[in-house]
Chains A and B, each alone.
Chain A
Amino acid sequence: MTYIAKPRVHHPALQKNEIGLTRRDYEGTVTTLCAGCGHDSITAAIIHAFWELSIPPHTVAKLSGIGCSSKTPAYFLKEAHGFNSVHGRMPSLVTGANAANGAITYIGVSGDGDSLSIGLGQLCHAIRRNVNVLYVLENNGVYGLTKGQFSASADPGSLSKRGEPNTMEAIDGCLMALTLGATFVARSFSGDKAQLVPLLKAGLKHKGFAFIDVISPCVTFNDHEGSTKSYAYTRENTVEVVQADFIAPAKAITTEYDPGAVREVTMHDGSTVRLRKVADDYDPADRDRAYHYIRKKHAEGEVVTGLLYISTDSKDMQAQNSLGATPLVQLPYEQLCPGSAELAKLQQQFR
């Protein structure tokens, strides 16, 4: 059953979306993160993306692990069910919830510690299963909540606040997702809302696992000189390769582009993601080339952003399990229980 929340009366300046809701209706409780934390900007972008897509908040479920980043589902979509779970284990919860009810829009929020250390296995396997979820990895290179230890995404040589260099290799979530067969891989920056919002929208509409690595500086523990996850470093060193515009179904496409530079991807619900290549030599439909491009740029000290890879023709977990249009949670019990006569019949096998 779908109920649409009654629009409340807000400041008249607040614009309403197609279902009569303002951005306020997509907010949550007030943030308790540090002022200037990148995670809060991502929250704002998430609110914006849901609002622009006119998704009724109560048809969404938002899940997370543990960390500063994982606290943020409390700060958006107060009318959506939320689940702040245990450290690194959100992917399995989303997987189970999705199997039970595929009619819900799922968003998972995680951190680099949550996803790339303690939860690495769960993330990998959720990608392999192609669970239908928008997975946002809020990447600051440190464990914010436990006060600034390096995470697995910290680059070798990046300095801690005390000036100690990180000595280990970094795990790049996007490269990893590509090798695991992810069907939607993107990277963005919390400070670039113009890039992030369309990516989130495309990710929400993607039927399958949409992985977005968002560099999200930790102002308290990892925003100093010598860190490769600071605001300054990220602004300097990101290069966008593919820009994504999200176009809702039935919306006329008016803007004109140089035809060679544009590709349109039709999503399962009929909406369109228009990809504009910023780098000529990049192809977001070619997994291997995407991989090598990102690595090459990384070696040159550049962080590649944008919609890095997309494929819409793989089966998501629901399809792999031959689940029908009616979610399992809505099947009446009569369709699940074979009954006493069948039990008696079956037991002849056990004699």
Chain B
Amino acid sequence: MNRVNEFAFKIATANGSGSASANSLIMQAIFRMGVPVTGKNVFPSNIQGLPTWYEIRVSGKGYTARTPQFDLMVALNPATYEKDVKEVQPGGWLLHDSTWPLDERLHRSDITLIGIPLAQMCNDHFSGVRERILMKNIAYAGALSALLGIDADIIRTLLKEKYGRKPALMDSNQKAVDLGFTYAMSNFPCPLPIHLAPLDKTKDAILIDGNTAAALGCVYAGATVGAWYPITPSTSMMEAFKRFCLKYRRDTESGTNRFAILQAEDELSAIGMVIGANWAGARSFTPTSGPGISLMNEFLGLAYYAEIPAVVFDVQRTGPSTGMPTRTQQCDLMMCAYASHGDTKHICLYPSDPREAFEFAVKAFDLAERYQTPVFVLTDLDIGMNDWMVPMLQWDDSYRPDRGKVLTAEQLAEAKAFYRYLDVDGDGIAARSLPGTHPKGAYFARGSGHNKFGGYTEDAEEYTEVVDRIARKVNGARRAVPAPVTQGPGNARLGILTVGGCHAACMEAVDQLAAEGIVVDYMRVRGFPFGEEVTAFLEKHETVFVVEQNRDGQLRSLLTLETGVPVARMESVRYYGGYPMSAHHVIAGIRARLEKVA
């Protein structure tokens, strides 16, 4: 088997020891060699001391899903030796720190041990406790560069870019790289059979995490008010928004900002601020995760019923309750679709990677204002926090925000009368007005029963008329949300239907199944409410495997509820242990079912 540009390795360290910069150095260097690469940071809910891992998959073929099959393990955390050594594929390699005698837990006869005296070398060449610890990480990056054939010049360039203005740091980093590199070169046959060879497959791509991309989307959409309460894994989104706003939205001369970031006291308040700001006419959003959405429920119902735009990013993490805050899942699909008490239904967008996180962030504001309702963008920890290789983000300068039906002062002045909830155009969307525009624009927004004129009501017909129109309005959005992505011959017996970050694993599975002679049609839904094409896909296939990352098959439940297609037609394939979905999960699920039938 050709293992050039097709392998995976994992680095086991302790949290807070400074391995992150070594890991991203390796990632970036591989990327600059033109070879597709993905990194998954598996980290604890802790600031210092607990185990952390970084998984890097190299795939010349361009597969970006996580693989749990590691050809090489860098085992630097004695606390996890036992677990780590087991994860190496037979015939693989294990890199350890040979400063100390080999720990017996690392013995395994079917793998090759690579001992590098990382601590020893760093103690000899660096002074100060912190520097020695930090440089140990850079030294393993140097060793990996020799072992895996990562271009040393590229590493040098990257260090120069990073530490160009800090020559002392530049020198020590380069020295550490050289130490690891030279030791590996002179003691082991380099490169190993798994190694890199330059390609040109990353030219038009970037490495970016979904939170950064989504934050950038908010900037480009013209969002001005961000409200939030910190929660993993969404926190870095507001940090990125702030960074971009300081770069692009600060008038240094006058010292004024063209944005406001409000750190709320909790998520109830965060969504309240978002609704208040949108009601006043600003594009406003909040990034959060499942526990935050739970708290926001009451307010979301208000925004739905009083018809006020709001954009909510749910970077999903494992539930229920606090769950595993640093592990990924798609477990809020149901909650977001119907958040809040009473009859509600919300527009949801499901990006599959950071590029779509950027695009759907912009789309979310347009939909929220057009339909005057909350819109969710559901990513997850894997999309939000990990670096993904995606095509460069594109921007069309002719874009202008779709503010929906907002009456101007002139329109209000000319109007005979303005009634906030009157469906003048027959599309279920009534025009709104913003505070301060015109005396005729005044109306009383309320979460209590109201009639189409905006007046308080307890009258059965008046109440029903308004809630029925809102249902029509939100259902109408199924034509405006991003259409599903499809692939396959279109007439296969079997289908795979999935959502969000499962995409990469499913695409890989589809290829592998094809190699076994199993042809499937593929659909990835990208928006809710589902369009007619989703129902058609379910009806057309004998069996549709619904692939998702939660215990209860929430996507399948949504499909059943919304399309009316019997649940028996859908076979649930789930993985919900907290790691991103892998192709082998998909294939194992499908195979189990096919064998049962056969």
Q: Which residues of A contact B (CB under 8 A)?
A: 1-3, 5, 56-59, 61, 63, 73-74, 78-86, 89, 91-101, 103-104, 121-122, 124-125, 129, 321-324, 328-329, 331, 333, 335-340, 342-344, 346-347, 350-351
User: Which chain A positions have C-beta within 8 A of B255?
Assistant: 322
Closest CB in chain B relative to A126 CB, distance in Å: 9
A86 touches B280 (CB 8 A): no
User: Which chain A positions have C-beta within 8 A of B275?
Assistant: 93, 96
User: Which chain B positions have C-beta within 8 A of A89?
Assistant: 268-269, 272, 298-299
Contact of A122 among B269, B394, B409 (CB under 8 A): B269
User: Which chain B positions have C-beta within 8 A of A81?
Assistant: 279, 433-436, 441-445
Residue of B32, B264, B435, B437 with most chain A CB atoms under a 10 A cut-off: B435
Contact of A97 among B271, B279, B302 (CB under 8 A): B279
User: Which chain B positions have C-beta within 8 A of A328?
Assistant: 224-225, 258-260, 282
Does B2 belong to the interface (CB within 8 Å)?
Answer: no
Q: A84-B447, A97-B279 are in contact. List 9 more A-B contacts (CB 8 A).
A: A57-B442, A93-B276, A95-B269, A96-B272, A99-B262, A321-B262, A329-B282, A333-B222, A339-B395
Does B163 belong to the interface (CB within 8 Å)?
Answer: no
B281 touches A101 (CB 8 A): yes
In the assembled complex, 21 residue pairs joining A and B whose CB atoms fall closer than 8 Å, in A order, are A1-B437, A58-B438, A74-B456, A82-B444, A84-B447, A84-B448, A92-B268, A92-B273, A93-B279, A95-B269, A96-B272, A96-B279, A96-B280, A97-B279, A100-B281, A121-B269, A328-B224, A333-B222, A336-B224, A336-B249, A350-B208
Closest CB in chain B relative to A103 CB, distance in Å: 7
User: Which chain B positions have C-beta within 8 A of A78?
Assistant: 442
Given A93-B272, A328-B282, A339-B397, the answer on whether A101 and B435 have CB atoms closer than 8 Å is yes
Closest CB in chain A relative to B263 CB, distance in Å: 10
Closest CB in chain B relative to A258 CB, distance in Å: 43
Does B256 belong to the interface (CB within 8 Å)?
Answer: yes
B251 touches A96 (CB 8 A): no
Does B265 belong to the interface (CB within 8 Å)?
Answer: yes
CA distance A35 to B133 in the complex (A): 76
Does B86 belong to the interface (CB within 8 Å)?
Answer: no
Given A61-B280, A350-B208, the answer on whether A96 and B439 have CB atoms closer than 8 Å is no
A96 touches B262 (CB 8 A): yes
CA distance A63 to B265 in the complex (A): 20
User: Which chain B positions have C-beta within 8 A of A5?
Assistant: 439
Within 8 A of A (CB), among B386-430: 392-397, 399-401, 409, 413
Given A89-B299, A125-B265, A351-B206, the answer on whether A336 and B222 have CB atoms closer than 8 Å is yes
Residue of B216, B281, B409 with most chain A CB atoms under a 10 A cut-off: B281
B436 touches A92 (CB 8 A): no
User: Which chain A positions have C-beta within 8 A of B254?
Assistant: 324
> Smallest CB-CB separation from A62: which chain B residue?
B444
State the main secondary structure of chain B at its contact with A: mixed
A79 touches B442 (CB 8 A): yes
User: Which chain B positions have C-beta within 8 A of A347?
Assistant: 206, 208, 392-393
Does B266 belong to the interface (CB within 8 Å)?
Answer: yes
Within 8 A of A (CB), among B65-86: none
Closest CB in chain A relative to B31 CB, distance in Å: 7
Q: Which residues of B contact A (CB under 8 A)?
A: 28, 31-32, 202, 205-208, 216, 219-220, 222, 224-225, 227, 248-249, 251, 254-262, 264-266, 268-282, 284, 298-299, 302, 306, 392-397, 399-401, 409, 413, 433-439, 441-448, 456
A100 touches B269 (CB 8 A): no
Given A3-B438, A84-B446, A89-B269, the answer on whether A104 and B224 have CB atoms closer than 8 Å is no
> Smallest CB-CB separation from B310: which chain A residue?
A96
CA distance A96 to B256 in the complex (A): 18
CA distance A85 to B308 in the complex (A): 12
A324 touches B256 (CB 8 A): yes
User: Which chain A positions have C-beta within 8 A of B438?
Assistant: 1, 3, 58
User: Which chain B positions have C-beta within 8 A of A93?
Assistant: 272-273, 275-276, 279
A74 touches B444 (CB 8 A): yes
CA distance A343 to B265 in the complex (A): 33
B435 touches A97 (CB 8 A): yes
CA distance A86 to B272 in the complex (A): 10
CA distance A321 to B441 in the complex (A): 29
CA distance A122 to B255 in the complex (A): 29
Given A340-B397, A350-B208, the answer on whether A83 and B219 have CB atoms closer than 8 Å is no
Closest CB in chain B relative to A144 CB, distance in Å: 16
Closest CB in chain A relative to B358 CB, distance in Å: 9
B224 touches A82 (CB 8 A): no
Residue of A86, A100, A343, A346 with most chain B CB atoms under a 10 A cut-off: A100
B273 touches A95 (CB 8 A): yes
User: Which chain A positions have C-beta within 8 A of B441?
Assistant: 58, 81
CA distance A321 to B32 in the complex (A): 40
B436 touches A58 (CB 8 A): yes
Given A97-B435, A323-B260, A328-B282, the answer on whether A343 and B220 have CB atoms closer than 8 Å is yes
Residue of B276, B302, B448 with most chain A CB atoms under a 10 A cut-off: B276
CA distance A56 to B396 in the complex (A): 41
B445 touches A59 (CB 8 A): no
Given A331-B224, A343-B395, the answer on whether A323 and B257 have CB atoms closer than 8 Å is yes
CA distance A124 to B272 in the complex (A): 15
Residue of A2, A97, A342 with most chain B CB atoms under a 10 A cut-off: A97
A121 touches B266 (CB 8 A): yes
CA distance A350 to B271 in the complex (A): 31
